[in-house]
């Protein structure tokens, strides 16, 4: 009994901790977009890409700045190299040679080198390329933000759609359940056939199954939205905007008449950036035919010892220094350099073709998105009108059915027509929101 009590307390504590670890959020659609642009996983990493590109730009710039390096070399000549000299230098017989060993067992060198690039055509091009490299990631960040905005709008709308579907299904089930109960009573009195009851039971069962599916879909839609927002899927969120309100807000036919400037489109800017990169690569290969010039200044100290005692006060250190320049002139590479230049030229021509293709595709995408957005508004108006008609038809058929003036099949057809009209109406509402987002994605600067 004591163990059961302890286990219960432990489980209760874990449950409380789990609840404390979850967070609750409340978002309008715009608030959800703003939150995602700061916290979405792709948004975070694309921001880091920009920071990395800035560091890369400085790394390239630093190549042309002074470079200072230092080092220490230690050598243990455990077997000194020997040489021969005429023996007569040491009082020996003329014509003979004596072995001598030059140097000490240990020697140490402390050195420093200061180098400076004076001219290199490749470096100049690299500086230009580093700016293009940074611009690419800035454009990629902008593209990521646009994609994230569209994903949030779509996933936000999917949640609202699932919630509206559930509300309508529950209303339809309640209404149908009442009709079924009334029909059973009529059947008990022998006024209708059992088939009419069974037909309603089939319809009710189908609605309940659809309701169960939509509840599952709502859970998945919430989780997808949470991922797009960059929050934990176990956190709680409340959506403050309503589907019908968002639909009205996004019904702006004048928006589709906005003139499309392909040069401001982010995909076009990325393609332009790609062409600039290929142009610089071509320029880089051509610059490799130019000479390069750099300068170096070396200085240091050397010490020699037969015993390892370099840091005593009486140790002599001998300084040295020199300065020099290095000129490298490319002369002949067996046409390898020319081949690389031609490859870069071909890549540049391909990039120009891609840019032209991108322009035409974007114009087509704009025309398609504009047409689909305008159609979504017209389709919504049609669906709204059809829903009103379907509701009136279903209401009339229900009255006729309960009065025995029509069959269960006629009533069932009217119900199915109503349910289909309800689904169509809700879907057209979401379509307006999504198609507006698709059009904004293309026209956003």
Beta bridge partners of 324: 296
According to the model, what pLDDT value does residue 18 have? 47
According to the model, what pLDDT value does residue 3 have? 57
Which structural domains are found in the chain, ordered by start?
A: 23-66+118-292+333-443 (1.20.1600.10)
According to the model, what pLDDT value does residue 314 have? 81
Best CA proximity match to 393, nearest among 413, 422, 408: 413
Residue 88 tokens read as 């007569």
Best CA proximity match to 116, nearest among 338, 323, 276: 323
HEC profile for 52-81?
A: HHHHHHHHHHHCCCCEEEEEEEEEECCCCC
3-class secondary structure, 323: strand
According to the model, what pLDDT value does residue 89 have? 72
Distance of alpha carbon 41 from alpha carbon 326, whole angstroms: 49
Q: List Cβ neighbours of 199 (8 Å cut-off, separation of 6 or more).
A: 408, 409, 411, 412
According to the model, what pLDDT value does residue 80 have? 80
Q: List Cβ neighbours of 106 (8 Å cut-off, separation of 6 or more).
A: 74, 75, 76, 77, 304, 305, 306, 307, 308, 310
Per-residue pLDDT of the chain (445 residues; tens, 9 = 90+): 555 555 555 555 555 554 556 899 999 999 999 999 999 999 999 999 999 999 999 999 999 999 999 999 998 888 787 888 787 777 777 878 777 777 888 899 999 999 999 999 999 999 999 999 999 999 999 999 999 999 999 999 999 999 999 999 999 999 999 988 988 988 888 777 888 889 999 999 999 999 999 999 999 999 999 999 999 999 999 999 999 999 999 998 777 777 889 999 999 999 999 999 999 999 999 998 999 999 999 999 999 888 887 888 788 899 999 999 999 999 988 889 999 999 999 999 999 999 999 999 999 999 999 999 999 999 999 999 999 999 999 999 988 888 778 888 888 899 999 999 999 999 999 999 999 999 999 988 6
3-class secondary structure, 404: coil
Contact status, residue 301 vs residue 318, Cβ threshold 8 Å:
yes
According to the model, what pLDDT value does residue 313 have? 79
């Amino acid at each position: 009994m004591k163990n059961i009590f302890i286990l219960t307390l432990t489980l209760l504590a874990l449950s409380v901790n789990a609840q404390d670890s979850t967070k609750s959020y409340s978002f309008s659609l715009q608030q959800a977009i703003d939150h995602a642009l700061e916290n979405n996983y792709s948004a975070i990493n694309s921001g880091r890409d920009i920071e990395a590109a800035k560091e890369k730009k400085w790394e390239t710039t630093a190549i042309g700045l002074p470079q200072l390096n230092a080092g220490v070399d230690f050598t243990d000549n455990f077997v000194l190299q020997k040489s021969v000299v005429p023996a007569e230098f040491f009082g020996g017989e003329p014509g003979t040679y004596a072995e001598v060993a030059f140097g000490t067992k240990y020697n140490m060198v402390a050195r420093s080198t200061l180098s400076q690039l004076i001219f290199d055509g490749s470096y100049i091009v690299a500086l230009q390329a580093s700016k293009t490299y940074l611009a690419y990631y800035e454009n990629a960040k902008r593209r990521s933000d646009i994609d994230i905005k569209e994903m949030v709008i779509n996933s936000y709308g999917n949640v609202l759609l699932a919630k509206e579907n559930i509300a309508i299904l529950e209303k339809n089930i309640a209404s149908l359940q009442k009709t079924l109960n009334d029909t059973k009573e009529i059947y008990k009195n022998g006024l209708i056939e059992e088939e009419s009851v069974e037909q309603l039971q089939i319809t009710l069962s189908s609605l309940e199954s659809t309701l169960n599916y939509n509840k599952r879909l709502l859970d998945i839609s919430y989780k997808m939205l949470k991922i797009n927002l960059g929050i934990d899927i176990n956190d709680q969120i409340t959506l403050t905007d309503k589907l019908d309100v968002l639909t009205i807000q996004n019904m702006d036919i004048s928006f589709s008449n906005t003139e499309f400037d392909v040069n401001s489109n982010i995909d076009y800017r990325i393609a332009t950036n790609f062409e600039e990169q290929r142009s610089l690569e071509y320029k880089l290969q051509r610059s490799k035919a130019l000479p390069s010039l750099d300068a170096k200044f070396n200085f240091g100290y050397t010490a020699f010892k037969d015993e390892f005692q370099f840091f005593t006060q009486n140790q002599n250190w001998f300084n040295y220094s020199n300065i020099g320049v290095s000129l490298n002139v490319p002369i002949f590479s067996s046409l390898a350099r020319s081949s690389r230049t031609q490859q870069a030229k071909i890549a540049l021509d391909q990039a120009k073709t891609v840019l032209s293709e991108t322009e035409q595709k974007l114009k087509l995408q704009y025309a398609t998105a504009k047409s689909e957005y305008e159609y979504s508004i017209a389709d919504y108006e049609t669906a709204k009108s059809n829903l009103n008609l379907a509701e009136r038809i279903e209401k009339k058929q229900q009255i006729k059915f309960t009065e025995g003036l029509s069959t269960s099949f006629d009533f069932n057809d009217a119900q199915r027509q109503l349910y289909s009209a309800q689904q169509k109406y809700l879907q057209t509402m979401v379509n307006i929101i999504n198609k507006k987002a698709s059009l904004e994605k293309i026209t956003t600067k």
